Amino acid sequence: MTKSPLPENGKPLAHFVSKAKFNPHAVEELTPELEKYYQASQHKLMWWKFKNHRLAYWSGILLIVFYTVIALAEFVAPYDYAHRHADFIYAPPQGISIIHDGALKAPFVYGRTQELDMENLQRHYPVDKTRRYTISYFCKGDAYEFWGLFEAKTHLFCVEGEGKLFLLGTDRLGRDMFSRIVHGARVSLTIGLIGIAISFILGITIGGLAGYYGGWVDMVVQRIIEVLQSIPSIPLWLALAAILPVTWSPILIYFGITVILGLLDWTGLARAVRSKLFSLREEDYVLAAQLVGARPSRIIARHLVPGFMSHLIASATITIPTMILGETSLSFLGLGLRPPVTSWGVLLKEAQTINVVVLYPWLLLPVVPVIVVILAFNFLGDGLRDAADPYH
């Protein structure tokens, strides 16, 4: 047994004196990292905090990729979303191979030919291994007008020659599902943003006013909210969609629907903001701000709203999916966007038959990007929520 540095039981501790030079500022001295942390601006702190949330970080990047894709939809999609391939109606998704006859090749697809099954009235697409089509990049395909600026034919990828590339299969008119999903994202990913912007501006302003002033302002706002909330959303959608003039072009209808979704969605948020403000406005720091002479708008925006930012972000992450799905519900009721405009809602509506579930399940695939986007928004929201409150 080695000798312990501690004294035996009952004996006093040995006296210890540090020989180091006394530095009276030692407690305040910081490591370089800590120094950076304490000196960083609030925004910088938020960014660090956000970056630490790996899922949120990657979700953010994924969403950036998605939004880049919708900006370049025509280029990314191998075909025009309305291009019919008459010989490939209801063709199932096609795999990309890299091995042919045991040898490694550049990515390619095999050819397929249509066979009619007149007994069941079904189309089959057996793979023909004798025909191989290599995938090429930046190649010429369907012509398109890019953002109405210039005409182009270049697509990110396609197959050479006579071959066809249907990564996610084709629909009942032989249109490439992958291209349709890419084009549809353009509407689906923007409708939520516009809708939520409208709903947030209305919700925070109206709820904020009601919550801060109380009294008759609150009374009036409460009544308006109550009236709007007292009517289920679907009848309201139905009524508002019915008054969109039938002569409007599909794109105007799209904006009309966005505005409708936004106009009807703010009430829940406004109520939440209001009740939160009721508690917050009793806080001392509000009193302090009032005494200093801050105007109400400043108090609401600078002192109160940050106090429940996390709640706002949480409901935003919930609301964006609701908006995206709201569009699908409207499409389901035959009131939303209609072909030829393509959105994920339109695609899902078209998949809403028993035939698809049983025979052509790949037409249900638009559900995958919907899920991915909603998850991404949610995780992003989590990260932002943390970042909004970096001192915790």
188-247 residues near another protein, rule: CB under 8 A: 213-215, 218-219, 222-223, 226-227, 229-232, 234-236, 238-239, 242-243, 246
Interface stretch with another protein, choices 73-81, 159-167, 187-195, 365-373 (CB under 8 A): 365-373
Per the listing, tokens 């809602």 go with 345
**Which amino acid type is present at position 263?**
L
Is residue 342 within 8 Å of 187, Cβ to Cβ? yes
Amino acid identity for residue 286 in this structure: V
Name which of 48 and 213 has its Cβ closer to another protein. Answer: 213
Asked if residue 352 binds another protein (CB under 8 A), the reply is yes
Minimum distance from residue 350 beta carbon to another protein (Å):
7
Q: What is the Cα Rg of the chain in Å?
A: 30
The pair of three-digit structure tokens given for residue 301, joined into one six-digit string: 């925006």
Residues 6+ apart with CB under 8 A from 177: 93, 166, 167, 168, 169, 170, 171, 347, 362, 363, 365, 366
Of the residues 370, 380, 384, 387, which one makes contact with another protein according to CB under 8 A: 370
Candidates 173, 201, 252, 288; binder of another protein (CB under 8 A) is 173
Q: Among 181, 268, 316, 362, which residue interacts with another protein (rule: CB under 8 A)?
A: 268
Number of alpha carbons in the 13 Å side-chain half-sphere of residue 252: 7
Q: Among residues 206, 299, 374, 384, which is the contact residue for another protein, using CB under 8 A?
A: 374
Query: Which helix or strand (DSSP H or E) is residue 57 part of?
Result: helix 54-71
The binder of another protein chosen from 68, 134, 275, 297 (CB under 8 A):
275
d(CA 381, CA 224): 29
- Cβ closest to another protein, residue 23 vs residue 230: 230
- 199 or 329: whose CB is closer to another protein? 329
Provide CB contacts within 8 A for 370, sequence distance 6+: 188, 324, 325, 344, 348
Q: What is the closest distance, in whole angstroms, from the C-beta atom of residue 390 to another protein in the complex?
A: 13
Q: CA separation (Å) from 123 to 89, 104, 360?
A: 7, 31, 11
Q: Which is nearer to another protein, 98 or 231 (CB)?
A: 231
Intra-chain end-to-end CA distance of the chain, in Å: 48
Nearest to another protein of 30, 227 (CB atom): 227
CA-CA distance, 263 to 228, in Å (whole number)? 10
Applying the rule CB under 8 A, the residues between 331 and 350 that interact with another protein are: 332-334, 338-340, 345, 348, 350
The answer to whether the Cα torsion of 341, 342, 344, 349 is positive or negative is positive
Q: Which of residues 102-141 bind another protein (CB under 8 A)?
A: 116, 118-122
**DSSP code of residue 143:** E
Residues 277-306 that bind another protein (CB under 8 A): 278-279, 281-282, 287, 290
Q: Is 89 in the site for another protein (CB under 8 A)?
A: yes
Least distance CB 353 / another protein (angstroms): 7
Scan residues 49-78 and list those touching another protein (CB under 8 A): 53, 55
Nearer to another protein, 178 or 237 (CB): 237
Residue 114 has phi, psi (to 5 degrees) of -80, 135
Task: For residue 164, state whether it binds another protein (rule: CB under 8 A).
Answer: no
For residues 55 and 127, which CB has a smaller minimum distance to another protein in the complex? Answer: 55
Which residue's CB is nearer to another protein, number 201 or number 359? Answer: 359
**The binder of another protein chosen from 46, 198, 209, 325 (CB under 8 A):** 325
